[in-house]
Chains A and B, each alone.
Chain A
Amino acid sequence: MNNSTALPISIRGLTKKYGDLNALNSVDLEIKSSEFLTLLGPSGSGKTTLLMAIAGFNRPDAGSIKFGDAEMVLTPPHKRDVGMVFQSYALFPHMTVSENIGFPLKLRGLAAKEARGRVDEALATVQLSGLGDRGIDQLSGGQRQRVALARAFVFRPRILLMDEPLSALDKKLREHMQIELKQIHRQLGVTTVYVTHDQREALTMSDRIAVINDGELVQVDTPEAIYNRPKDQFVADFIGESTMLALTRDGDGRLSFGAEIISSSTPDSSVSNWRLVIRPERLHLLEGGANTSEKQVVFRGRVTEYVFQGETAFALVALNDTTILSVRFGTGAGSRLRSLELGALVSVGLMREDVILIPEEGQM
């Protein structure tokens, strides 16, 4: 049932203050029709405030929220036609599973027979067929999550909002549900805004991620772009693991770390101080004495720590007294290294394509 009525959301200059606190500071965000967009940020960043503003549960001080061409800022929640899943699921304990899912249909005055068909269809979509007559207290955490989801899309809303819906589940189930949610989204084709503080979840599920911090959007991009080309230190730090090295710039605009030239030019000449962001898994340990070349930068240091974690392992390599690189590598026979013992002198390579440069904080 591909949803032809999915709507784009256009947010302009959205501002919300709580006392002196700027919960949202002039946020502009265009969410495409049928897109799965994740609002990602630390707690208190404003991501939930933004979601609640889209749902209609708080009224912004300024700005506009449009669903398609219709201005929504003054529309009460029950007229927005938005499906919503809460972190606590907020299932109605005095109703059965079917009554929960049928609730929005009943409010819309659907005939009992048609409503029953839609409820069964929704139950099948979330793989709970046959559990309609159960009470809520007879369901497991994962099943409750599915009921909450079914209830949110059964009336074919134009927009689906989710506020950390998986955070109460254990890790295995959460990862399973991430994939399942993604599939259900593809099946329904409804514009979806998803809130999480879990960067891995955001990377797994989203078409695009909007990173939000202190009430402002920092970067809105695809998961690959967010990970490979973080715009600033906050994004680089918040998403994925990273080591940051301060670079020096010479008169010709070349950026280097120690003797190694990292970049032959400055990406933006108005910014003088740059940092190199290194993802641990983008580094590789080299046998013997490879040197920096056109293809890769080579760092040399001593192994100070080695940790085995199952599918990967990581080593800390001290380049000097203050700079320690974290290197992550596979644990299979192909990627193991003979000389990797504490105190050993090793070479670590970084391909030039994997070089990520960000401006030093406070220089934007």
Chain B
Amino acid sequence: MSWWTSPATETQISHGDRFWLYVLVAIIMLFLVIPTLIVIPMSFSDSQYLEFPPEQWSLRWYGEYFDSTKWMRATVTSLQVGFLTLLVATPLGTMAAYALFVSGHRFAKSIFLLLITPMIVPVILIAIGAFYAFGRMGINNSITGLVLAHTAMATPLVMIVITAALRSYDLNQERVARSLGATRIKAFFTVTLPQIKFSVVTAGLLSFLTSFDEVIIAIFVSGGNNATLTKHMFAALRDFIDPTIAAISTIMVGISTALLLAIQFVGSKKK
């Protein structure tokens, strides 16, 4: 029982003393992960209905998904909106974070808080607000509307990530660059941006995920040919439950996990 009695920290606490903690953490992690993972075996079922554990295995629901024009169109919409949100939110949030970080203006803090309110306000309120506002502007059920709403959700994330990056950056570098003959914009692009680029990439991936996973706003402001994958899934769950949903969920979990791993990879490479 050498592991059991060996010290777990620099103090006298041994792994045995801590064993209950390990068990507790394992249970918490299972609780967090099981709901996400349970759809994976269900998606490989041969049954007409969602069942766990599946009695017979098959890939038919993946076939169902890939053969359906409706699902394919929704997938394209989601990818399109996610990508456009990334393209709009990343530069927008980066510029806002940079400006507020550098300015030292006395209202900079207040403006920052104002800009990150979409993270704090319940999403349903934003969805309702967007629905009425977009109704007036005639951009409900359009890609434009979705991208605008998702950008509002993603920009605060970008701002937080970029501000954190700027905090560990010596702004004197930009000053030096300017004294050496670079304009402010040139100094930003040649000196500052290369050093915060990993954070910018991370922020971009997070923006994409924010949009790609989002369902509440999508339910309100997307529809018709421009309904997102998540909106279709929600509708499908309500109307008729079949394992196609499980197949799609599995694919989405896969994409999200891949992106999060990519962010982790980018983050560790920075050091």
Q: How far is the CA of A161 from the CA of B180 in the complex (A)?
A: 12
Query: Is B253 located at the chain interface by the 8 A CB criterion?
Result: no
Query: Is A108 located at the chain interface by the 8 A CB criterion?
Result: yes
* Nearest CB on A from B183, distance (A): 5
Residues of the A chain whose Cβ atoms lie less than 8 Å from the Cβ of B183: 76, 78
Q: How far is the CA of A342 from the CA of B175 in the complex (A)?
A: 56
B174: nearest chain-A partner, CB-CB: A90
Query: Is B55 located at the chain interface by the 8 A CB criterion?
Result: no
Number of residues of chain A lying within 8 A (CB) of chain B: 26
A154: nearest chain-B partner, CB-CB: B180
Query: Is B116 located at the chain interface by the 8 A CB criterion?
Result: no
Q: How far is the CA of A80 from the CA of B178 in the complex (A)?
A: 10
Query: Is A88 located at the chain interface by the 8 A CB criterion?
Result: yes
Number of residues of chain B lying within 8 A (CB) of chain A: 19
Query: Is B179 located at the chain interface by the 8 A CB criterion?
Result: yes
Residues of the B chain whose Cβ atoms lie less than 8 Å from the Cβ of A82: 179
- Contact between A155 and B180 (Cβ–Cβ < 8 Å)? yes
Cross-chain contact of A78 among B172, B173, B182 (Cβ < 8 A): B182
Residues of the B chain whose Cβ atoms lie less than 8 Å from the Cβ of A57: 175, 178
Report if A93-B195 is in contact (Cβ < 8 Å); known contacts: A80-B179, A84-B179, A103-B177.
yes
- Contact between B186 and A83 (Cβ–Cβ < 8 Å)? no
Report if A94-B194 is in contact (Cβ < 8 Å); known contacts: A104-B180, A104-B181.
yes
Q: Of residues 163 to 179 in A, which have CB atoms within 8 Å of B's CB atoms? A: none
Report if A107-B186 is in contact (Cβ < 8 Å); known contacts: A83-B180, A88-B170, A94-B194.
yes
Residues of the A chain whose Cβ atoms lie less than 8 Å from the Cβ of B108: none
User: Residues 153-192 of chain B: 1 if any A CB is under 8 Å from the residue's CB, otherwise 0?
Assistant: 0000000000000000010110111111111101100110
Cross-chain contact of A77 among B170, B173, B175, B194 (Cβ < 8 A): B175
Cross-chain contact of B179 among A83, A92, A94, A108 (Cβ < 8 A): A83
Residues of the B chain whose Cβ atoms lie less than 8 Å from the Cβ of A152: 179-180
Residues of the B chain whose Cβ atoms lie less than 8 Å from the Cβ of A257: none
Residues of the B chain whose Cβ atoms lie less than 8 Å from the Cβ of A40: none
27 CB contacts below 8 A, A to B, read A76-B178, A76-B183, A77-B175, A78-B180, A78-B181, A78-B183, A80-B179, A83-B179, A83-B180, A84-B176, A86-B172, A86-B175, A88-B170, A90-B170, A90-B175, A92-B173, A92-B195, A94-B194, A103-B177, A103-B180, A104-B180, A104-B181, A107-B182, A107-B186, A152-B179, A152-B180, A155-B180
Having A76-B178, A90-B170, A107-B186, one finds 15 other A-B pairs with CB under 8 Å, namely A56-B179, A76-B183, A78-B178, A78-B179, A78-B181, A78-B183, A83-B180, A84-B175, A84-B180, A88-B170, A92-B191, A93-B195, A103-B190, A151-B180, A152-B180
